[in-house]
Amino acid sequence: MKVAAIGEAMIELSMDGDTAAVGVAGDTLNSAIYLKRSAPDIQVDYVTRLGAEPFSRKIHDFIAAQDVGTGAIETDPDGTPGLYAITTDASGERSFTYWRDRAAARSVFTGPGGPDFSVLEGYDVVYLSGISLAILPEQTRGALMNWLGGFREGGGRVVYDSNYRPRLWQDKATAQAVNAAMWALSDIALPSIDDEQAITGESADAVAARFVAMGKTGALKRGPSGPLCLATGTFGDYVPALRVVDTTAAGDSFNGAYLGAVLSGLDQAAALQAGHDLAARVVGHKGAILPA
């Protein structure tokens, strides 16, 4: 099985007072790494565009060191990657500062004649998020969504997480329209309760009811309460994390472990538990990626 994860890999500054640890992260990249760790036999490739300068090489080398494929990464000789800094409060809740407006990833799939998705051919599963789409020009975004429709018709599976970042969207109406279309396109849906409430203004109960009514495979991530199974509308008895240091990548890690279980043939109960357990470990660690 071959999985393509689409998105933006950035340089990460994890702040500790006045000092910072320099790493590499990005929402779908985090999930790709945890998917590969959870299911080593699955081929997981990352799809993005990087520059050719030292920080882009650092990102490329980091991805390769995680056993995530780099063959689908495009290169812009004049491009640079995005940068973000994480700060956390006393409860472990994080806030972000971004420098990403001119990142090379924003031009991924851009060819001489317009959008070109040939790099995605041959994959069985495509995983992407609202961030993956929000950074793209409108023409490329629409063309990618049309391509995903044909990909599904050909037997491929689409996995989507809205991962809503308001500042990346031109307006909320665009975010709402794109997300509604992507939930319809997705075979496996991995929404988070807070993202969906922020996008739609619905209550938590209304969000849960909406996704259960879709009848999709997937999970509604609900933080310490644990995931809701979208296929059945039920949830288990999940033990909250013992220690919360940094909530960065909590949802991304859940997605990776959940997908690793589902794509390996495990049932929903096992997949939901795997996702919750990994996320509970990740929030006890500073930064997005646990040591291998």
3-state DSSP call for residue 103?
coil
Burial of 202 (0-12, 13-18, 19+ CB in 10 A): middle
| Whole-angstrom distance, CA of residue 196 vs CA of residue 207 | 7
Instruction: Please name the residue that has the structure tokens 């790709």.
Output: 32
**DSSP H helical segments within 26-171, as ranges?**
27-38, 54-65, 130-134, 138-153
Token digits of residue 101: 């407006």
Distances (CA, A) of 216 to 84, 184, 199, 228: 33, 10, 20, 12
* Neighbouring C-beta atoms of residue 21, cutoff 10 Å: 12
Active site residues: 252
Tokens of 233: 């509308």
How far is Cα 256 from Cα 253, in angstroms, rounded to an integer?
5
Distance CA 80, CA 107 (A): 11
